[in-house]
Amino acid sequence: MSEHAESDRPHRPLRRRNIVDGSRGHFGPTMTPMVDVVLVILIFFMASTTIAGREWFLRASLPEPHENMPREEGSRFVLPAPMIRVEVFTRNGAVLVNGLQDRELLIHEAVSVIGGLDDSASEGIVLLIVGADDIAFAEIMRLHDAASAISMRVAIE
Amino acid sequence: MRSVISGGAHGGRVNVTPMIDVVMVLIIFYLLVGQLAIDRRTEIKAPITATGIVETQERDPITLGVHRDGSLTLNGEGIGLARLGGELTGRILRDPTLAVRVRADRGAPFGEVRPVLRAVREAGIDQVELVTEQGP
């Protein structure tokens, strides 16, 4: 193919390149689209990793209200036995937990007690957390976290 | 000066490939940002836990947000507690396999979270996913 004939050929940017292009000084594949696609994939995975790395979740059961119990009653929920029912409340600015031992525990003591339970002993046991209205949600989740660490199921009332 | 459109020796054609590439990047970028904005719009600071489940579901769960001041969002849109039960029931009836995820602020009083959990339970859902931040 002569130089004259080459210059007269109309330029078609979207035309698939073939081996003939090598003789026109454009040997090899076009890199630009590949770079674009790689960039998109890179951004996508960077964003996905950031999202997945920040947050996760803990599962909690929601007990079924007992039909025969009025709403005002304390133990009006049905849960598969056995369960440990703990109440979380505040007194004089301290967050206390009742129901784990024969005395009220500070929240960090309760977390230690739960963490000290044997995994096999806690298997199948449900920790029912009953929180007072003024308790910060984070305190509830501290107990949930401790229970989840030993594979104990958690229900929240 | 020869314009791009006039083409001249190139026959008046415009190379649209780079433009398509750039548009595609922009679309993906805004899709991601938009999805993030739904979750982050409310600036809820989730509790920090050392345990948790990292799971990517093929379908988005129903996300309930509970702010520190007690205001609620359903998938990023504000909603009142009175309407929440009906909305949840309707969505669950349409798709009983939908998961419900609760993003409650770590400082929100539990008295503001409990009604949400009850509304979820009364909608027929016996388990929720409580969002937390990954801690040490």
- For residue B101, give the nearest of B69, B135, B76, B78 by alpha carbon: B76
When mean pLDDT is compared across B1-10, B68-77, B93-102, B121-130, the lowest value belongs to B1-10
DSSP state of B109: B
Q: Which two tokens stand for residue A72?
A: 């005002």
Is there a contact between A34 and B22 (Cβ–Cβ < 8 Å)? no
How confident is the model at residue A89, as a pLDDT?
A: 94
Q: In the beta sheet, which residues pair with residue A97?
A: A88, A105
- Do strands B100-104 and B62-66 pair parallel, antiparallel, or not at all (unpaired)? parallel
Per-residue pLDDT tens digits for A20-45: 555 556 667 777 877 887 888 888 77
Does residue B43 come out as left (phi exceeding 0), alpha (psi in the -120 to 50 range) or beta? left
Residue B66 has pLDDT above 70, yes or no: yes
Q: Name the residue among B21, B36, B132 with its Cβ closest to that of A33.
A: B21
Which positions in chain B touch A33 (Cβ < 8 Å)?
Answer: 17, 21
B50 touches chain A (CB under 8 A): yes
Please tell me the distance in Å from B1's CA to the nearest CA on chain A: 20
- Mean model confidence pLDDT for chain B: 82
Using 50, 70 and 90 to split pLDDT, how confident is the model at A142?
A: very high
A8 touches chain B (CB under 8 A): no
Cα nearest neighbour of B133 on chain A? A55
- Chain A and chain B share a number of CB contacts under 8 A equal to 150
Report the predicted TM-score, pTM, of the whole model to 2 decimal places.
Answer: 0.67
When mean pLDDT is compared across A49-53, A68-72, B61-65, the lowest value belongs to A68-72
Q: Which residue has the higher pLDDT, A28 or A70?
A: A28
What's the mean pLDDT in B27-50?
Answer: 74
d(CA B89, CA B34): 26
Q: Name the residue among B17, B66, B132 with its Cβ closest to that of A141.
A: B132
Q: Which two tokens stand for residue A39?
A: 């960039």
Which positions in chain A touch B101 (Cβ < 8 Å)?
Answer: 57
Per-residue pLDDT tens digits for A73-91: 444 455 555 788 899 999 9
| Contact between chains at A62 and B125 (C-beta distance less than 8 A) | yes
Half-sphere exposure of B83 (CA within 13 A, CB side): 9
Which strand (E) or helix (H) includes residue B104? strand B100-104
Q: In the beta sheet, which residues pair with residue A105?
A: A97
| Contact between chains at B51 and A148 (C-beta distance less than 8 A) | yes
The ipTM is 0.71
d(CA B112, CA B134): 23
Give the best residue of B26, B29, B51 to mutate against chain A (max A CB count within 10 A). Answer: B51
Give percent above pLDDT 70 in chain B.
82
Q: Name the residue among B29, B46, B111 with its Cβ closest to that of A134.
A: B111
- For residue B80, give the nearest of B71, B68, B90 by alpha carbon: B71
- Do strands A126-131 and A83-91 pair parallel, antiparallel, or not at all (unpaired)? parallel
d(CA A11, CA A24): 12
How confident is the model at residue A1, as a pLDDT?
A: 45
Q: Which residue has the higher pLDDT, B117 or B22?
A: B117
How confident is the model at residue A76, as a pLDDT?
A: 45
Cα nearest neighbour of B35 on chain A? A51
How confident is the model at residue B111, as a pLDDT?
A: 94
Three-state SS at A19: helix
B12 touches chain A (CB under 8 A): no
How confident is the model at residue A14, as a pLDDT?
A: 56
Q: In the beta sheet, which residues pair with residue B130?
A: A58, B102
d(CA B126, CA A51): 27
When mean pLDDT is compared across A96-100, A111-115, B57-61, B76-80, the lowest value belongs to B57-61
What's the mean pLDDT in B111-127?
Answer: 91
